[in-house]
């Protein structure tokens, strides 16, 4: 199916000849075209420095292509107001979870709800419900800085889900976790897809995620490449270097 066909059927994400250059001569993303169906779970992998985070940032509206364009549900991303996109459409899980350590777990999950015109009490209830969903109902008042790595990552997932995003983007969400915590985070992401119909795009080296994804995309030197097997999916401690 061509990218244009998928767009007609309402692909969640389309990239059309997307490039991201950094002066003077770095090409982080080089002419990438792709299409991801609604509700699909796609893993993006490739060696270190191949452009995975750069591409995720372009799709997540954290950065803009130097040429080409990204469409979300058929609408060019640069026509969607950035605050609306981040408030209503997309949720992010970062590897280093970017939690505010001085806030309790609940406070972190409430952050995306603050700009959404939701009253304080409802925000609180929703954040607590999400934390229960990720198995942290007993830790809602714990300062994030006192949580374990796996717990923090689960808070990060709860925060990413707070706005009920239809697009969930994750950058090495299990990279820093032991296998049990990694399984748990992965279950949460898959649950978001099954229960909420979210589309998942996940950057990873983790074979566990690769096994569960519908499809793997491989980047090398900023370009999408065909790989016969899964050379970049290895335990985090054995990450291949560029």
Ligand X SMILES: Nc1ncnc2c1ncn2[C@@H]1O[C@H](COP(=O)(O)OP(=O)(O)OP(=O)(O)O)[C@@H](O)[C@H]1O
Report, in angstroms and rounded to the nearest whole number, the Rg of the chain calculated over CA atoms.
18
Residue 46 C-beta: closest distance to ligand X, Å: 6
Nearer to ligand X, 53 or 144 (CB): 53
CB within 8 A of 62, min separation 6: which ones?
none
User: Interface residues with ligand X (CB under 6 A)?
Assistant: 22, 26, 28, 46, 48-54
Residues contacting residue 24 through CB under 8 Å, at least 6 positions apart = none
In whole angstroms, how far apart are CA 172 and each of 79, 118, 236?
28, 30, 10
φ and ψ at 147, to 5 degrees? Answer: -85, 155
| Shorter beta-carbon distance to ligand X: residue 23 or 119 | 23
* Shortest distance in whole angstroms from residue 108 CB to ligand X: 24
Closest distance of CB 51 from ligand X, Å: 4
- CB of 27 or CB of 103, closer to ligand X: 27
- Minimum CB separation from ligand X for residue 45, in Å? 9
From start to end of the chain, where are the E strands?
Answer: 13-22, 26-36, 41-45, 67-72, 75-76, 90-93, 167-171, 199-203, 215-220, 223-225
Report the nearest approach of ligand X to the CB of residue 28 (Å).
Answer: 3
User: Which is nearer to ligand X, 24 or 228 (by Cβ)?
Assistant: 24
Q: Based on CB atoms, which residue is closest to ligand X, 54 or 108?
A: 54
């Amino acid at each position: 199916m061509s990218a244009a066909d998928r767009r007609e059927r309402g692909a969640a994400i389309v990239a059309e000849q997307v490039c991201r250059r950094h002066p003077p001569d770095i090409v982080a993303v080089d002419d990438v075209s792709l299409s991801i169906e609604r509700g699909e779970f796609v893993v993006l992998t490739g060696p270190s420095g191949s452009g995975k985070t750069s591409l995720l940032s372009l799709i997540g509206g954290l950065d803009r292509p130097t040429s080409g364009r990204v469409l979300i549900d058929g609408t060019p991303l640069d026509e969607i107001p950035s605050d609306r996109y981040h408030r209503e459409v997309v949720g992010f899980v970062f590897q280093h979870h970017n939690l505010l350590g001085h806030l309790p777990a609940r406070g972190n999950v409430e952050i995306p709800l603050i700009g959404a015109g939701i009253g304080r009490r409802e925000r609180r209830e929703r954040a607590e419900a999400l934390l229960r969903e990720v198995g942290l109902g007993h830790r809602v008042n714990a300062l994030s800085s006192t949580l374990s790595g796996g717990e923090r990552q689960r808070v990060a997932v709860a925060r990413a889900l707070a706005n009920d995003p239809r697009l969930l983007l994750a950058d090495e969400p299990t990279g820093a976790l032991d296998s049990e915590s990694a399984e748990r985070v992965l279950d949460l992401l898959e649950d978001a897809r099954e229960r909420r119909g979210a589309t998942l795009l996940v950057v990873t080296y983790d074979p566990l995620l690769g096994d569960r994804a519908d499809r793997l995309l491989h980047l090398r030197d900023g370009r999408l490449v065909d790989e016969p097997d899964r050379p970049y999916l290895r335990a985090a401690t054995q990450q291949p270097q560029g």
